[in-house]
Structure 1
Amino acid sequence: MANLFSSFDPATNFNLSLNWLSITLGVMFMPMMFWLIPSRMNILWINIIYTLHKEFKILIGNFKIKGMTLIFISLFSLILFNNFLGLFPYIFTGTSHMTLTLALALPLWMSFMIYGWTNNTIHMLAHLVPQGTPPILMPFMVCIETISNIIRPGTLAVRLSANMIAGHLLLTLLGNTGPMMSMWLLNLLIITQLLLLALESAVSIIQAYVFSVLSTLYSSEVI
């Protein structure tokens, strides 16, 4: 099993682990923002940002703070860069590790909880009992809602890392069986691998979107 998961943590030749440097590769795409005439990729990225801004603005609601959606757009960008870069050979997938996903989810959730309980205490207490709950079930609902609230950062982190690991592991396992196959089966394997790669590309976008949307929904609850 250790050998199976070794592809997710490739060793580096120095005492300092350089794997996590792949997270900063997104900075390499930044100079395009300073072009006088925007490139096609820049125009595409601006359109994505505007679309996400409109989406998150609707989810947050009437709470008007300028630039409130920027943190969630940045979060989406970071996860998307890491998910996509992980599909290239010999690039370390940071988002397949709980170290990164939990480091993103936990501080966000913690800050929402601190803000909510200090500024909107009555609203937060009322939120523990959904509307229309029978009086007998109220104590149970409080327990269930409290537990579901506490496990939110864990579910956010596990969802992202598990989805990244599952796709990469499947690609790795199928790739390792290639040398033992006949020519006809090898062609079938290559087609399967290409289809899986297309699926992984879609998953990398969807998971980044899901993570940022859920974070936005959690923030809208506390305000």
Structure 2
Amino acid sequence: MMTNLFSVFDPTTSMNLSMNWISMIILLTIIPMKMWIIPNNMNFMMIKLIYNLYKEYKIIIYNKTNNHIILMFISIFIFIMINNFMSLFPYIFNNTAHISINLTLSLPIWMMMMMFGWLMKTNHMFTHLVPQGTPNLLIPFMVFIESISNMIRPITLMIRLTANMIAGHLLLTLLGNMGPKLNFLFLPMLIFTRTILLMLESAVSMIQAYVFAILITLYFSEI
């Protein structure tokens, strides 16, 4: 029995160990080996997805020497998308609804970009603190505001992904708890509503992974 709605996001198990985090890699362990053999439909779909993402990220990062960075952003997108989709299955732990996981993804990447920018392109980073055309009187305030907005970027990335994943799962949990209390005549309507919400959550899972990866790409393009 749940003590509160957020109990579904509790990382502990019956053995008092955080074994639920294993679900982050469970998909890689259950995929049959034939799925990795070329050619097959799943492999073609993955290559098509990676190619489309590569073209889109290449428009944002136009430097030809940054191909390896684009592959890193694509890997982040695929990792988040797989974990978001896995959380929609019954009895699968929702990893991306936790601040600890999302902050672990956003903070190191942001720190890497900041260290690279300030050490290798210091003048370029300073110019970003003052937008073009800013009056001289507002320059100190703009530097302060731009510095604060830059520092909270990993926090906003973390909160955006966490809040969007929690919201949908909480709504599904609320509707699921209504099932035993509803009249039998209203059960088909409840099942239909949950099916629509599950389809919406499937779309949100991909959209949030894309938003997370595209924002990191945009932040990198400023350096």
Cross-structure match for 1:206: 207
Cross-structure match for 1:74: 75
AA matched with 2:154? P
Cross-structure match for 2:162: 161
Contact 2:11 2:21 in 1 (8 A): no
Cross-structure match for 1:133: 134
- Aligned counterpart in structure 1 of residue 33 of structure 2, from 26, 31, 34: 31
Contact 1:97 1:161 in 2 (8 A): yes
What RMSD over aligned residues (CA atoms) do the two structures have, in Å?
Answer: 1.6
Displacement of 1:42: 1.6
Runs of 5+ unmatched residues, structure 2: none
Cross-structure match for 2:91: 90
Q: 1:189 to 1:10 in 2, by over 3 A?
A: farther
Partners of 1:154 and 1:32 lie apart in 2 by 40
AA matched with 1:41? M
Displacement of 1:63: 4.6
Partners of 2:100 and 2:165 lie apart in 1 by 14
Identity %: 57
Instruction: Using structure 2 for the length normalisation, give the TM-score.
Output: 0.94
Runs of 5+ unmatched residues, structure 1: none
Q: 1:196 to 1:108 in 2, by over 3 A?
A: same
Partners of 1:92 and 1:106 lie apart in 2 by 23
Once structures 1 and 2 are overlaid, which stretch shifts more, 54-63 or 5-14? Answer: 5-14
SS state at 2:66 partner:
coil
Contact 1:26 1:78 in 2 (8 A): no
Contact 1:76 1:211 in 2 (8 A): yes
Partners of 2:102 and 2:41 lie apart in 1 by 31
Trace 1:146-157 onto structure 2 (pairs within 5 A).
146-157=147-158
Partners of 1:123 and 1:17 lie apart in 2 by 44
Is 1:57 the counterpart of 2:58 in the alignment? yes
1:12-59 residue CA offsets vs partner (Å, 9 max, x unmatched): 232432110000123233835641x42212211110011111111111
AA matched with 2:40? S
Contact 2:36 2:43 in 1 (8 A): no
AA matched with 2:126? L
Partners of 1:74 and 1:114 lie apart in 2 by 21
1:73-118 residue CA offsets vs partner (Å, 9 max, x unmatched): 1100110010000000100010000010000000000000000000
Aligned residues: 221
